[in-house]
Structure 1
Amino acid sequence: MALFGLIPDRSAEQAAPAGDSAEAARMAALQPAHPGPRELRAQAVHRLQIGLFGLAGMLLIVSLANVIMDRAKQVERTTAGTPAVAASPSASPSTANDPLVDMGVAPELPVGGGTKPARPAQRPPGN
């Protein structure tokens, strides 16, 4: 941290005159103590535990997603042969393919092989 100027370097303390012992004590209190081997080992074990719990959590999430996808595929396979909604006899075949009609935005137009919508009569160009 002395590199960034946040905490002065200890070498500056040693160069200070002996009369500034209060200042030297204050600077020594600001300097972080170097961790011992026991504390370093505890930090390493803590990091290892966090990493292993993170990996186990990811494995659990991926496994749960896999189970959900397998169940969805299984349900899709079993219901693929049977229609989900029975069509009423009066429903036209275009309503199943027209989402605007399903939402009620567009009117339902009858679809038939021989019927065509009536066109308005056109006026002769001379009138």
Structure 2
Amino acid sequence: MAESPRRQEGLQRVQIGLTGVAGVILLVGLANIVIDKARVDDSSTPPPVVATIDANASATAPKEPLAELGVQPAPEPAPVVPDLLPDPNLAKPMDREVQPAQR
């Protein structure tokens, strides 16, 4: 039985259409599985812990609010440690050998 080219073209278009529909159904199904899995994981984790304010702590004002926040005024500059001073021999020329002191 010889099929006409028009009938073959129609069957090919139907096959391509059905393949496309099957692909879309597959993608929607996979997306649904991923979303359901994400919802299950979210419900199994405990809710985040929220800190509560103590009523007694709020009644007394902090004495040093900057110290409690970890921000303090800069201290006075520390004195220079003698070990950190530059070597006095660096000012002398270093291209010649040091001659011993004459007596």
Report TM bin, short chain: 0.3 to 0.5
Higher relative contact order (CA 8 A, sep 6+): 1
Using the size of structure 1 for normalisation, the TM-score is 0.39
Using the size of structure 2 for normalisation, the TM-score is 0.47
